[in-house]
Amino acid sequence: MKQNMILVVGCVLIATACAEKEQATTEALDKAPMTAPETVAPTAENEIWQNESLRMHMHDHAETLDELNFALADGNLEAAKTAAKWLAEHESDVSVQSDWLPHLYRMRTEAEAVQTASDLATARAAAERISAQCQECHVAAGVSTQ
């Protein structure tokens, strides 16, 4: 089951990661509604990913991003905004390594862009940037999604 979820996440990320990446400004990062959780030191074997709580939380991100993308594919902007709201505002008790936080901040900023989008094209572009942030974080963490 876990392997299937990782495969699904990888496919979604690959399908949407081709979008042009935008760099968030410092101002956008400062405005992102995320409190920085306690950081955890990395290890050579990425032992941080052995933390079941973190893996499950990241799977929640992937499932919610899937919901957002499925809603956009169906032309349902309101349902996409509901999923984006969770991505932008949810709280977490999992520890995240400090150098991964910028990816989370930018993901939340792009989720906010989906929430404020007035049309499907704008929301789709922001959703692609969310996927790009997920992929960049996986690269930074040395975690394969395949």
Give pLDDT tens digits for 90-146: 887 667 777 788 888 999 999 999 999 999 999 999 999 999 999 888 888 777 665
Which pLDDT score, from 0 to 100, does residue 103 have? 87
| CA 28 to each of CA 40, 77, 93, 94, 144: distance values in angstroms, whole numbers, following the listed order | 25, 23, 23, 23, 28
Q: Number of structural domains, the chain?
A: 1
Which pLDDT score, from 0 to 100, does residue 42 have? 45
For residue 36, name the pLDDT band (cuts at 50, 70, 90): very low
Which pLDDT score, from 0 to 100, does residue 66 have? 96
In a domain, 146, yes or no: no
Residue in this structure with the two tokens 């935008």, named with its chain if needed: 22
In a domain, 16, yes or no: yes
Query: For the CA atoms of 97, 103, 107, 112, what is the dihedral angle to 10 degrees?
Result: 90
Q: Is 1 exposed, middle or buried (0-12, 13-18, 19+ CB in 10 A)?
A: exposed
Mean pLDDT rounded to a whole number for the chain: 74
Q: Nearest-CA neighbor of 105 among 77, 78, 137, 127? A: 137
For residue 48, name the pLDDT band (cuts at 50, 70, 90): low
Which pLDDT score, from 0 to 100, does residue 93 have? 66
Among 16-30, 64-78, 90-104, where is mean pLDDT lowest? 16-30
In a domain, 124, yes or no: yes
Question: Which percentage of the chain shows pLDDT scores above 70?
Answer: 62
Tell whether the model's pLDDT for residue 28 goes beyond 50.
no
Which pLDDT score, from 0 to 100, does residue 24 have? 39
Structural domain boundaries enclosing 44:
2-141
Q: Does residue 45 sit in helix, strand or coil?
A: coil
- AA letter at 87: L
